[in-house]
Amino acid sequence: MIATAVLLLLVLIGLSIPVAAALGVLGLVLDPLFSMLPLSRAMGELAWSSSNEFLLVAIPMFIMLGEILLRAGFAERMYGAMALWLSWLPGGLMHANIGASTLFAATSGSSVATAATVGTVSVPQIKRYGYNEPLFLGSIAAGGTLGILIPPSINLVIYGVLTNSSVPKLYLAGIIPGLMLAGLFMLTVIVACVVKPSWGGQPVKASWGERFRSLQHLLPPLGIFFLVVGSIYAGLATPTEAAALGVVGALVLAAFSRKLSIRMLRDALEGTMKATAMIMLIVIAAGFLNFVMSATGLTDTLTKTISGLGLSPAMMILVVVLFYVVLGCFMETLSMMIVTIPIVAPVMIALGFDPIWLGILIILMVETALITPPVGMNLFVVHSIRKGGSMNAVIVGSLPFVGALFLMVALLAVFPDIALWLPRVFG
């Protein structure tokens, strides 16, 4: 049964069938093969039950928040400020890529949106300042992955829904690992450019006056971050309500900067609807597939198989990491989370792992999948922004940052308090 399901999934993905359709078709195929009852008749009820969770309303809100900030021009000004403050480091504007991604991640909640936003602004600087193209592109793709770890994160909301975990605690747990990972990415750039100084391009010169004047452009995203996250931990709003507050705050900032218009709102709403429709279709299709897997006994079989291996906790972490590394080479990250978490989380939690810590570990592995070929979404996003050249350049440039991600996973495994300290103090 397990072999049949895995083989069918690989075939469907190999045929380039859209992920949501592949998950739904797999459920429809497994139904008559392994079930005595017509499980497909429950599709309507499952579609409703998997999409009417109040917490999921935060997803379109966070998407729209990022869309408004992008279309109002805040992202470009924010990148310019980061460039003035960080370009003195070995690697110059590559640190601005990571710094701007870190700050934009604190408002958008989406890795793809973060990579696309920062990439659109920064890619033209490669030839202008003579940077090593693969490493520069890799820094954009890697920096974009921070969008799903640093709160507010859409993927952490979905993990919270799937495991019935506290989203505010997950948000707290993601702050320190997110900042540490950004630091590791920057350290990767520094090491590469110290070894090969020519990769670092020409330095961007700026006076202290210019730097201090640019700080005003960092205030809008920071203000939105404190509005959203602060309202949650002050007990004033739920994550969903905080997301709505963020949208209102972004609209006020856009109006204040005279960027609010009917056309801008239309474009932001259109982008929000497209992204939300894609995400919710994956959620519904994966919900049906998980139901079929559970009803046919596939989930229990997998759980018993894994539990029966008698592995130590350290070995189980290694198995989970390898599992997500391999699966991330073939599946889109959101669908991978929705399909695997109902299987992986119960086993790991039963072995004594903290569900909040496990959520951060899984998010780190999902981040790795975003920049590993052949289906790393951020690789495609960055490559599409270039409008030319080989995809290999993006892949090669991302490899050092994959190493930084694995180092972060190792640190998290050895020192769980990296993720658990803030939830324990403020939870």
Token pair of 308, please? 């029966």
Beta strands in 53-185 (DSSP E): none
Torsions phi, psi of 341, nearest 5?
Answer: -60, -40
Neighbouring residues of 61: CB distance < 8 A, sequence distance ≥ 6: 240, 243, 244, 246, 247
Q: Give ∠ CA 212-217-223 in degrees, rounded to 5.
A: 115
Q: What angle do CA 47, 50, 54 make, to 5 degrees?
A: 125
- Write out 174-229 in H/E/C secondary structure: HHHHHHHHHHHHHHHHHHHHHHCHHHHCCCCCCCHHHHHHHHHHHHHHHHHHHHHH
Question: Is pLDDT above 80 for 322?
Answer: yes
CA 295 centroid distance within chain: 30
Using pLDDT thresholds of 50, 70 and 90, give the confidence band for residue 146: confident
Sequence-ordered list of residues with C-beta below 8 angstroms from that of 302, at least 6 positions apart, any chain:
2, 343
Res. 136: pLDDT tops 90: yes
SS3 assignment, position 183: helix
Q: Distances from the Cα of 39 to the Cαs of 30, 33, 165, in angstroms?
A: 10, 11, 28
User: Residue 108: pLDDT above 80?
Assistant: no
**C-alpha to C-alpha distance for 141 and 401, rounded to whole angstroms:** 9
pLDDT for 375 equals: 66
What's the rounded Cα separation, in Å, for the pair 218 and 175?
A: 18
Of residues 411 and 70, more confidence is placed in 411
Give the whole-angstrom CA distance, residue 250 versus residue 68.
6
Q: Among 135-144, 207-216, 234-243, 292-301, where is mean pLDDT lowest?
A: 292-301
Summarised one tens digit per residue, pLDDT across range 21-54 is 888 888 888 888 777 778 888 888 878 877 777 7
CA distance 357 to 194: 35
Residue 220, preceding bond cis, omega within 30 degrees?
Answer: no
Nearest by Cα to 335 from 276, 278, 272, 384: 278
Decide which of 5 and 336 is more confident: 336
Per the prediction, the chain carries an average pLDDT of: 85
Kindly state the percentage of the chain with pLDDT values over 70.
98
Element (H, E) at 45: helix 43-49
Sign, CA torsion 409/414/416/422: negative
- pTM for this predicted structure: 0.85
Give residue 73's region: left, alpha or beta (phi > 0; psi -120 to 50): left
Contacts of 303 (CB under 8 A, 6+ apart): 343, 346, 347
* pLDDT at position 368 over 80: yes
Quote the pLDDT of residue 117.
Answer: 80
Which DSSP helix (H) or strand (E) runs through 323? helix 313-328
- Alpha-carbon distance of 2 to 298, in angstroms, equals 7
φ/ψ of 128, rounded to 5, equals: -60, -40
Distance in angstroms (rounded) separating the CA atoms of residues 274 and 282: 13
For the chain, the distance separating the N- and C-terminal CA atoms, rounded to the nearest angstrom, is: 42
Percentage of residues of the chain with pLDDT beyond 90 = 25
CB-based contacts of 290: which residues, under 8 Å, 6+ apart?
A: 299, 338, 339, 342
* The pLDDT of residue 301 is above 80: no
Q: pLDDT by residue (tens digit) across 199-225?
A: 888 877 888 888 899 888 888 888 988
Sign of the torsion angle spanned by Cα atoms 295, 300, 301, 306:
positive
Whether the predicted pLDDT of 389 surpasses 90? no
Residue 99 sits at φ, ψ, to 5 deg, of: -65, -45
pLDDT at res. 1? 63
User: Measured between alpha carbons, how far is 52 from 54 in angstroms, rounded to an integer?
Assistant: 6
Residues 6+ apart with CB under 8 A from 36: none
